[in-house]
């Protein structure tokens, strides 16, 4: 089909999609890639005018995005597929997400949106970069410039990534010029074969006559593409996610789009507050404007939430969180700015709330599936009743993210378990599986628990029909002595 798209906005376009009620997300951290049991749903009816956070996952408590804690017990994270359906997905540190919430930090939806997925075209270890689907991806090790790049197993560093590998990259979009973007990676993972590759970026060089536009160095032909939402309008500077038939872009710099999601932020949010996290890629202090994650931001009326900070403290490449409202589809009017990764914050960027499991020593344990080293941390001896940690202690961890996905803790506090709100974890062996009641018994080193699951539970390397006798790691909420599972993970041998 021939889609005629204009270069001028056409009025209100709804893009925010309400998700069905599903359960909370979780982290994989330093462990290997863990496929989830796929659950797909049709895209539901549209919901407009909700506050939104667009940023990077840097903790779990239950979900923390760019330092903001979100209550996501009522929803699960989903990705939109090339057919418009939604699939449940496990969220990990470094993932890029869009969170629609009620204004009080309670999530209505969590959408995971990778920046680029496809075949690696080149790797330059010296320059710290790689090219995927015509996109230049750079690795980051400085928390002041944004989240440190996490390499998911089997990768541990850029040198492990090879040409022709199939990868999934989450990244900050850094628009260095109108027609030049680089992606600053927050997470790089090897992915399984898929029917489609994906590119997320900012439209440039749009030609409505030729039906083409560019994302980075990749020329996109959208002549035969399905556009979502149906009446969406493409324009230069707007944010899109493009689906392309798998393995059709390797050495080529052109691609035929199959499905294009247009992210028209103004009608999505309808004047409600939006928070955008990213690195400053364009800064005009005289004109009081900057660009963050591809978004043009008017900072003329912005204030700083940190004592003593002013416009003079803003620098190119700096990692900031901007709150404001969209005044156009591509432009944000800022009200507040927070500078991250400075003032002693670098060693406290990541925050985890959960149960200690897999404990070997203070230098080796997991919380929310993330490996933690607390050997040099300050442990609150009052709340923890000493400085020696152990399995099943409920804790708050603050620390720095490492390239292998683990956390180097700087501070540890112990927390009380609050029924229906604290995410607890248990490792054990499943027995007495009742598929009708959707329950089983989990025998741990500490106790014997009844675990219940439902259609909202995320299964990782596991399936509901093959749990009996398996060693599992379960996360969820404790209610009346029953563990309501949000995530069930089959232990790796």
Quote the tokens at residue 3.
């889609």
Q: Confidence class of residue 28 from pLDDT cuts 50, 70 and 90?
A: very low
Neighbours of 223 (CB within 10 A): 12
The predicted-structure confidence for 424-451, as pLDDT tens digits, reads as follows: 999 999 999 999 999 999 999 989 999 9
CATH architecture of the region 423-490: Beta Barrel (2.40)
Quote the tokens at residue 274.
């939006």
Residues spanned by CATH 2.40.50.320 within the chain? 423-490
pLDDT on residue 320: 94
Whole-angstrom Cα distance, residue 490 to residue 448?
18
Question: 116-265 has which CATH code?
Answer: 2.40.50
pLDDT on residue 39: 53
Neighbours of 19 (CB within 10 A): 22
Give the list of residues 6+ apart from residue 86 with CB closer than 8 angstroms, or none.
17, 19, 40, 41, 42, 43, 78, 79, 80
Which pTM was predicted? 0.86
Quote the tokens at residue 394.
């409920």
Whole-angstrom Cα distance, residue 153 to residue 159?
13
**Mean pLDDT confidence for 66-87:** 88
The predicted-structure confidence for 30-55, as pLDDT tens digits, reads as follows: 334 455 555 555 444 434 567 899 99
Q: Is residue 292 within 8 Å of 326, Cβ to Cβ?
A: no
pLDDT on residue 4: 36
CATH fold, domain 346-414, is OB fold (Dihydrolipoamide Acetyltransferase, E2P) (2.40.50)
Whole-angstrom Cα distance, residue 80 to residue 83?
8
Strand 471-479 to 482-490 pairing = antiparallel
Quote the tokens at residue 287.
């004109």
Neighbours of 90 (CB within 10 A): 21
**Mean pLDDT confidence for 6-17:** 35
Closest CA to 25 of 17, 33, 36: 36
Give the list of residues 6+ apart from residue 19 with CB closer than 8 angstroms, or none.
44, 75, 76, 78, 86, 108, 109, 110, 111
Whole-angstrom Cα distance, residue 138 to residue 126?
11
**Contacts by 432-437, CB closer than 8 A, 24 or more apart:** 433/467, 433/468, 435/464, 435/465
CA 139 from chain centre, in angstroms, equals 17
């Amino acid at each position: 089909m021939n889609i005629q798209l204009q270069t001028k906005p056409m009025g209100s376009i709804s893009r925010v999609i309400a998700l069905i009620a599903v359960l909370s997300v979780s982290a994989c951290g330093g462990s290997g890639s863990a496929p989830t049991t796929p659950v797909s749903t049709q895209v539901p009816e549209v919901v407009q005018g909700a506050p939104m956070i667009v940023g990077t996952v840097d903790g779990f408590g239950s979900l923390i995005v760019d330092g903001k804690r979100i209550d996501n017990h009522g929803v699960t994270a989903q990705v939109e597929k090339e057919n418009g359906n939604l699939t449940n997905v496990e969220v990990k540190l470094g993932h890029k997400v869009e969170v629609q919430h009620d204004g009080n930090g309670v999530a209505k939806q969590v959408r995971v949106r990778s920046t680029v997925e496809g075949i690696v075209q080149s790797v330059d270890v010296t320059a710290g970069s790689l090219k995927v689907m015509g996109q230049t991806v750079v690795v980051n090790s400085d928390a002041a410039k944004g989240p440190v790049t996490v390499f998911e197993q089997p990768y541990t560093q850029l040198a492990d990534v090879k040409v022709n590998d199939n990868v999934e990259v989450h990244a900050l979009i850094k628009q260095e010029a109108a027609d030049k973007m680089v992606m600053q990676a927050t997470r790089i993972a090897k992915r399984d074969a898929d029917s489609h590759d994906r590119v997320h970026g900012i439209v440039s060089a749009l030609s409505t006559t030729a039906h083409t536009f560019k994302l980075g160095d990749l020329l996109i032909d959208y002549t035969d593409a399905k556009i979502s939402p149906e009446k969406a309008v493409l324009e230069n500077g707007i944010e899109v996610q493009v689906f392309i038939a798998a393995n059709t872009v390797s050495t080529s710099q052109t691609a035929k789009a199959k499905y294009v999601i247009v992210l028209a932020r103004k009608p999505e949010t309808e004047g409600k507050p939006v928070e955008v996290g990213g690195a400053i890629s364009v800064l005009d202090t005289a004109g009081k404007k900057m660009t963050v994650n591809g978004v043009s931001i008017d900072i003329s009326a912005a204030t700083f939430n940190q004592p003593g900070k002013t416009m003079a403290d803003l620098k190119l490449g700096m990692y900031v969180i901007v709150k404001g409202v969209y005044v156009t589809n591509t432009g944000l009017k800022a009200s507040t700015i927070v500078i991250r990764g400075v003032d002693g914050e670098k060693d406290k960027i990541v925050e985890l709330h959960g149960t200690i499991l897999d404990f070997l020593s203070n230098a080796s344990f997991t919380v929310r599936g993330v490996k933690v080293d607390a050997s040099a941390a300050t442990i609150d001896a009052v709340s923890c009743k000493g400085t020696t940690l152990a399995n099943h202690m409920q804790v708050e961890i603050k620390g720095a993210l490492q390239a292998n996905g683990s956390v180097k803790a700087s501070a540890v506090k112990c927390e009380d378990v609050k029924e229906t709100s604290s995410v607890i974890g248990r490792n054990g062996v499943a027995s007495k599986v009742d598929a009708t009641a959707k329950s089983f018994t989990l025998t741990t080193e500490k106790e014997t628990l009844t675990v219940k699951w439902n259609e909202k539970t995320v299964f990782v390397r596991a399936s509901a029909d093959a749990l009996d006798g398996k060693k599992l790691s379960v996360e969820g909420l404790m209610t009346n002595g029953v563990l309501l599972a949000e995530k069930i993970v089959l232990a790796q041998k």
